[in-house]
């Protein structure tokens, strides 16, 4: 069993403007760096053995800040923990996106489906859990994975059978979500610990 704590990256200027980032590589702003430090504070109640992150700069920098605060080594980058590809919707304001496409589940040219995001993220988390078990001797490992709102949303949706997160519920920048991973299984322990 591996305890996996997913952390949403800190705020960016595009988050602040309510602009869809997707795979566009937007850096943290100063509020985002503070979000990362606050998230690190929320993680001090558990011993963590390793930290992983999406390679996108906003997640990588959040992970680097958390690692420094918790005394962990450098984050291991995991490409399949990157944000959902939004295709033609990327870069649009949320209001524009919803006006054009109707909702988050509508097909958008070039965009990944939530199911596709969940599938690749589940494979990545399985690999992270295997990797963490190989690295050290404790039976129960605890790792942090810094990723993106779309990835976390797709995983929560998958493990809850579509009941969470609720429609319109925002996953805050820097929010913490705890899961338990066993071979072939992922279970939500805490939907969100908010800043």
9 in active site: yes
In Å, the largest CA–CA distance within the chain is 52
Q: Any idea what DSSP says for residue 86? A: B
Query: Helix (H, G, I), strand (E, B), or coil: what is residue 110?
Result: coil
C-alpha span between 10 and 118 (Å, rounded):
21
- Bridging pattern class, strands 76-77 and 141-147: unpaired
Joined tokens for residue 82: 């990157």
Q: Which helix (H) or strand (E) holds 155?
A: helix 149-159
For residues 62-83, one letter each, b for 16 or more C-beta atoms within 10 angstroms of the residue's C-beta and e for the rest, the string is bbbbbbebbebeebbebebbbb
Among residues 83, 85, 90, 141, the one annotated as catalytic is 83
Q: Are 37 and 45 in contact (CB under 8 A)?
A: no
Picking from 165, 144, 143, the residue whose alpha carbon sits closest to that of residue 154 is: 165
C-alpha span between 98 and 177 (Å, rounded):
26
Among residues 9, 48, 49, 148, the one annotated as catalytic is 9
Q: Which residues are catalytically annotated?
A: 9, 83
């Amino acid at each position: 069993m591996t305890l996996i704590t997913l952390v949403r990256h800190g705020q960016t200027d595009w988050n602040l403007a309510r602009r869809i980032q997707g795979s566009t590589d937007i850096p943290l702003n100063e509020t985002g760096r503070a979000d990362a430090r606050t998230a690190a504070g929320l993680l001090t109640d558990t011993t963590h053995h390793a930290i992983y992150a999406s390679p996108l700069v906003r997640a990588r920098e959040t992970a680097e800040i958390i690692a420094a605060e918790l005394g962990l080594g450098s984050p291991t980058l995991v490409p399949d923990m990157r944000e959902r590809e939004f295709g033609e919707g990327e870069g649009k304001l949320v209001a524009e996106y919803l006006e054009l496409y109707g909702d988050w589940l509508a097909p958008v040219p070039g965009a990944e489906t939530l199911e596709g995001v969940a599938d690749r993220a589940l494979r990545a988390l399985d690999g992270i859990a295997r990797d963490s078990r190989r690295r050290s001797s404790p039976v129960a490992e605890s790792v942090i994975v810094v990723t993106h709102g779309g990835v976390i949303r797709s995983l929560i949706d998958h493990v809850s059978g579509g009941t969470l997160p609720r429609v319109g519920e925002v996953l805050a920048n820097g929010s913490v979500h705890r899961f338990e991973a066993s071979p072939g299984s992922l279970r939500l322990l805490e939907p969100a610990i908010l800043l």
